[in-house]
Amino acid sequence: MRINKYMSESGACSRRVADQWIEAGRVRINGQIATLGSQVNPGDEVLLDDQPLGKRRRTVYIALNKPRGITSTTAQDVAGNIVAYVNYAERIFPIGRLDKDSEGLILLTNDGDIVNKILRVENNHEKEYVVTVDRPITNAFLAGMASGVRILGRMTNPCVVTREGPNTFRIVLTQGLNRQIRRMCEAFNYRVRKLQRVRIMHIELGDLPYGRWRELTSSERKQLLAPAGNELSKVE
């Protein structure tokens, strides 16, 4: 088995991240530094940062109500990284990202292979946010946000935007451009004061307390993995 596939099946990371760690010299097979083409045979000892990679006991899917100031990265040298914050008993990593200055729903897993499959179809997934800006919103602002905004050299996709209060609106995106909502607001001379993600696909933040996490229900897991399975069947 190729080393990156072995690492993803162990739950350590996705294959893409495994390749990065291998290139950085962090992985050893039987004491030898692994390369991207290395193979793992039964009985081989595989170490990541001098720690053994074992077989995954079970797949884990976690919903976290991420606080502001926590960074969606597995890099242990980053203060406030999400993995250290959750402090789960085994290696997990985030599915997608949520800006450091944003809060709300983010998913984490130890299922390395499934991450890339989910991300491949991520642009078709609805993600819902509640946003508070620095001054009263207008009908023109809501209409402009909904119809598409030019940021990063391209137009954003049309989306659903509704008023929640004088300075607050709800927006449903099917894109994941870098700091998309903040950049869209800035195009209309608004500044985001609070940005909270409240839903990813069918998974809702609900009443999950700020800074706490829970494991997904069996129904949530099944629906989450269904699009990934469909995408996988197209390329196998």
Question: What's the confidence (pLDDT) of residue 132?
Answer: 98
Pair 130, 196 in one domain: yes
Question: What's the confidence (pLDDT) of residue 235?
Answer: 32
3-state secondary structure of 32: strand
Q: What is the CA radius of gyration of the chain?
A: 20
Q: Are 82 and 68 in contact (CB under 8 A)?
A: no
Pair 65, 106 in one domain: yes
| pLDDT tens for the 236 residues of the chain, in order | 899 988 887 777 878 889 999 999 999 999 999 999 899 998 899 999 988 886 655 788 999 999 999 999 888 889 999 999 999 988 888 988 899 999 999 999 988 667 767 766 555 789 999 999 999 999 999 999 999 999 999 999 999 999 999 999 999 999 888 999 999 999 999 999 999 999 999 999 999 999 999 999 999 998 888 766 544 333 33
Q: Are 13 and 24 in contact (CB under 8 A)?
A: no
Pair 114, 73 in one domain: yes
Pair 134, 194 in one domain: yes
Q: Which of 99, 101, 111, 113 is catalytic?
A: 99
Question: What's the confidence (pLDDT) of residue 111?
Answer: 80
Question: How far apart are alpha carbons 25 and 92 in whole angstroms?
Answer: 21
Output b/e per residue, 78-97; b: 16+ Cβ within 10 A: eeebbbbbbeeeebbbbbbe
Q: Output the pTM of the full model.
A: 0.75
Question: How far apart are alpha carbons 172 and 79 in whole angstroms?
Answer: 30
Pair 34, 144 in one domain: no
| Listed residue (110, 84, 81) closest to 215, CA to CA | 110
Question: How far apart are alpha carbons 184 and 39 in whole angstroms?
Answer: 46
DSSP state of 177: -
| Residue 99 annotated among the catalytic residues of the structure | yes
Pair 156, 48 in one domain: no
Six-digit token pair at 143? Answer: 């209409």
Question: What's the confidence (pLDDT) of residue 233?
Answer: 35
Pair 163, 224 in one domain: no
Pair 85, 195 in one domain: no
Pair 77, 189 in one domain: no
Question: What's the confidence (pLDDT) of residue 179?
Answer: 94
| Domains in the chain, number | 3
Question: How far apart are alpha carbons 53 and 235 in whole angstroms?
Answer: 28
Domain that holds residue 108: 61-122+203-235
Pair 116, 217 in one domain: yes
Q: Which CATH number belongs to the domain containing residue 209 in this structure? A: 3.30.70.580
Pair 67, 93 in one domain: yes
Q: Which CATH number belongs to the domain containing residue 38 in this structure? A: 3.10.290.10
The residues facing 105 across adjacent strands are: 65
Pair 97, 137 in one domain: no
| Listed residue (62, 63, 60, 61) closest to 105, CA to CA | 63
